[in-house]
Amino acid sequence: MQSIPVDGIVVVTSPQELVGMIVEKAVKMAGLLNVPIVGIVENLSYFECPDCGKKHYLFGESHLEEIAEENHIPETARIPIQPKLSAAVDAGLIELYEGPWLDQLTASLLKDVED
Ligand SMILES: [Zn+2]
């Protein structure tokens, strides 16, 4: 972070309880370097069950919005556990994978660039 010019940071987390602490560390470091944290992405957030259609929070209920609000992070996103996503990564084709989960975050970042 000190050797590359950075306009903003997107923190990627997982749903565990410890994540709050990890985010706070990232926020402190970003503050020292005067770089804003523009978003937080929760990976492995939930599993959308093909049988019952419900979202199952395998790692426990997330505190993403809470953590974002406490740390004044404007955008949040959740990426589910998704076998097709892992398969795309394994095949080296992740760039071609279409998923809606980061659309709002990327739209917000693009808007900032245009402003
Ligand atoms: Zn189910």
**Token pair of 32 as six digits:** 């020292």
Q: Using CA atoms, how far apart are residues 53 and 24, in angstroms rounded to an integer?
A: 34
Q: Show me where the domains of the chain are located.
A: 10-110
**CA 44 to ligand 1 center in whole angstroms:** 16
Instruction: Give, rounded to a whole angstrom, the gap between the first and last alpha carbons of the chain.
Output: 24
CATH number of 10-110: 3.40.50.300
Please give the model's pTM, rounded to 2 decimal places.
Answer: 0.83
**CA 32 to ligand 1 center in whole angstroms:** 44
**CA 23 to ligand 1 center in whole angstroms:** 30
Return phi, psi of residue 23, to 5°: -65, -45
Report pLDDT digits (tens) over 35-60: 999 999 999 999 999 899 999 998 88
- Note the pLDDT of residue 114: 76
- Please say whether the beta carbons of 44 and 86 come within 8 A: no
Report pLDDT digits (tens) over 64-99: 899 899 889 999 999 999 888 889 999 999 888 888
Residues flanking ion ligand 1, Cβ below 5 Å: 49, 51-52
**CA 52 to ligand 1 center in whole angstroms:** 4
Closest of 40, 24, 38 to residue 101, by C-alpha: 40
